[in-house]
Amino acid sequence: MSILVVQSLKRLIIPIGLLLGVIVGFGLLVTKVLQDDWPLTVEDDFNRELASGRTDSWNGVSSFFSGVGSTPVIIGVTAVIAIILRLTLHRWREPLFLCAAVSAQAIVFFFATLVIDRSRPEVPKMDKSPPTSSFPSGHTSAAVALYAGLALLLALLARRTWLKVVVWTLILIPLAVGLARLYRGMHHPSDVVASLLNGVACIVVMARSVLNRAVQWGARAMRPAAGYGAHRAVTR
């Protein structure tokens, strides 16, 4: 078996497969086991409370952030940022990391929706419902993988502490996307929680596999790897 296949199994396929199992397991708990227990019993009340407090101003804000997590926007922004990273840094690890994190969360999301069949909240919906289960939120997990992944990259590249703090504010975007999806009646709170887990886990898996310069995907993979530091992961 080639080194590339071994590394792919160990660092990508198996971890993402385990993540899928965790997300599906969480979905089954939510929909089949704990659906009559707190806090799941108050999820509908929370959705109804958000729906009853809608205003024109918040409708517009939620529409914007919901769009930020939509598939066309995520694909377009990921592609543009990946190209900029490649042209600016003159290496492939960073753009590949970002693309891999976004792709991995999409794979987990897609297969999870095939297993978990959950209806969307029983409130007036402000968006067209895609033909997928409410669990998990694809908008939210995609936004986490993209914007939190980008925050990680920029924080590792930044030299000044204040700049590191500034770039980490990007994590507010996926949080806003999740809240927007709740506000617009498209998901239950537990759907969003599962998506946050999905996005963060995919970032961790890809950071350990792609950003880690100690990990070799060719013949050098058989050599003992030196210690790995987060800062060295994105520097020459």
Tens-place pLDDT, residues 10-64: 889 999 999 999 999 999 999 999 988 998 999 999 999 999 999 999 999 999 9
What's the farthest any 2 CA atoms get from each other in the chain? Answer: 61
Task: Report whether 47 contacts 56 (CB < 8 A).
Answer: no
Which residues neighbour 110 within 8 Å (Cβ) at sequence distance 6 or greater? none
- pLDDT value of residue 9: 85
How would residue 179 be classed by pLDDT, with cut points 50, 70 and 90? Answer: very high
To the nearest 10°, the Cα dihedral for 145, 76, 179, 45?
-100
Closest by CA to 126, choosing from 61, 195, 191, is: 61
Q: Is residue 192 part of a domain?
A: yes
Cα separation, 88 vs 110, whole angstroms: 33
Q: Is residue 153 part of a domain?
A: yes
Q: Is residue 36 part of a domain?
A: no
Q: Summarize pLDDT for 133-157 with one digit per residue, the tens.
A: 899 999 999 999 999 999 999 999 9
Cα separation, 117 vs 99, whole angstroms: 28
Q: Summarize pLDDT for 182-231 with one digit per residue, the tens.
A: 999 999 999 999 999 999 999 999 999 999 888 777 655 444 444 434 44
Question: Domain residues for 215?
Answer: 3-30+48-234
Number of independent structural domains in the chain? 1
Q: Is the pLDDT of residue 128 over 90?
A: no
Q: How far apart are the first and last CA of the chain?
A: 30
Task: Report whether 13 contacts 209 (CB < 8 A).
Answer: no
Q: Is residue 43 part of a domain?
A: no
